[in-house]
């Protein structure tokens, strides 16, 4: 579509976007008011409002109650490095999800049993309604929450064993590979899918974002001899992180 054929609100949003990129409207600067946009661009109040909505949806500006709309400082994206599955040996849940050894962190976890819904049952290869152990993790680095994760394991495998609770028992916090090895299950493969979606309110709040932020979701499943033994969703803010992979060449 030619520029002149664009709806007026998109032309206004595009011009304001260019001013933000060029530094004419630097981070924390107040965006021109709706009245100012109307006068400067010769558009209606409705067009001015829609242009501001476009910039807010793109994460370039944010509204402050009773104050106006301001240019957001854009974060420099950091990397979450993925490296396949870990062989047996000392590891941690944080290292399982972030394999860059230069980045350190901690996690908090809470587990409880639940019935598998259709999606999780399909990922684990179990019947809908079968009991699974769900564990929710909050990962921090330098005091900042950087990732959230929810994992599910079939209690058919782990129930009534010392590793039933991922963060308790003799192998607490040692990761899926080591814990499954204690059950004579050799984790030999994993699969991941990366997607994006609007963040849920509780996710965005926990990750330090604002409503409307998108998140990237890494859906991972570990296999032992072709059988799924654990599946998880790892969630990060899309604007703050990039997913990088370090995989062996065979």
Determine the straight-line distance between the first and last CA of the chain, rounded to whole angstroms: 46
Residue 106 confidence (pLDDT): 92
Kindly report, as residue ranges, where domains of CATH 3.40.1410.10 are found in the chain. Answer: 78-245
Q: Where along the chain do the CATH 1.10.10.10 domains lie?
A: 8-71
Name the architecture of domain 8-71.
Orthogonal Bundle (1.10)
| Partners of 107 in the β-ladder | 139
Q: Domain 78-245: what homologous superfamily?
A: Chorismate lyase-like (3.40.1410.10)
| Structure confidence at residue 175 (pLDDT) | 86
State pTM to two decimals.
0.78
Helix then strand then coil, % of the chain, to nearest 5:
25, 35, 40
- Phi then psi for residue 231, to 5 deg, are -135, 150
CB 220 within 8 A of CB 192: yes
pLDDT along the chain (250 residues), means of 10: 68 94 92 92 93 87 85 86 68 86 92 97 98 97 94 97 93 89 94 94 89 90 96 95 85
Q: Which residue reads 């926990």 in tokens? A: 206
Greatest C-alpha distance within the chain: 73
Question: Residue 36 CA to chain centroid, in angstroms?
Answer: 37
Distance CA 83, CA 220 (A): 12
Query: Which two structure tokens, joined as six digits, stand for 211?
Result: 């409503």
35 phi and psi angles, rounded to 5 deg: -65, -40
**What pLDDT is stored for residue 239 in this prediction?**
87
Asked if 88 and 96 touch (Cβ cutoff 8 Å), the reply is no
d(CA 96, CA 187): 13
């Amino acid at each position: 579509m030619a520029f002149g054929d664009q709806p007026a609100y998109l032309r206004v949003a595009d011009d304001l976007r260019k001013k933000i990129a060029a530094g004419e409207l630097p981070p924390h600067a107040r965006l021109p008011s709706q009245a100012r946009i109307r006068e400067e661009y010769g558009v209606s109040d409705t067009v001015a409002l829609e242009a501001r909505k476009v910039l807010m949806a793109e994460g370039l500006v944010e509204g402050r109650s009773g104050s106006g709309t301001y240019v957001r400082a854009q974060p420099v994206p950091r990397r979450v490095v993925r490296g396949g599955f870990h062989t047996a040996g000392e590891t941690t849940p944080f290292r399982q999800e972030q394999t860059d050894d230069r980045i350190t962190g901690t996690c908090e976890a809470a587990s409880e049993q639940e019935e598998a819904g259709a999606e999780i049952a399909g990922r684990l290869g179990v019947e809908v309604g079968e009991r699974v152990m769900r564990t929710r993790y909050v990962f921090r680095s330098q005091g900042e929450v950087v990732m959230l994760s929810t994992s599910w394991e079939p209690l058919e495998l782990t129930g009534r064993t010392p590793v039933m609770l991922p963060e308790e028992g003799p192998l607490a916090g040692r990761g899926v590979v080591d814990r499954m090895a204690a059950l004579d299950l050799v984790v030999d493969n994993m699969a991941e899918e990366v997607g994006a979606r609007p963040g849920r309110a509780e996710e965005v709040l926990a990750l330090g974002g604002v409503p409307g932020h998108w998140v990237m979701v890494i859906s991972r499943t570990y296999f032992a001899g072709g059988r799924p033994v654990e599946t998880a969703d790892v969630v990060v803010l899309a604007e703050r992180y990039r997913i990088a992979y370090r995989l062996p060449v065979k």
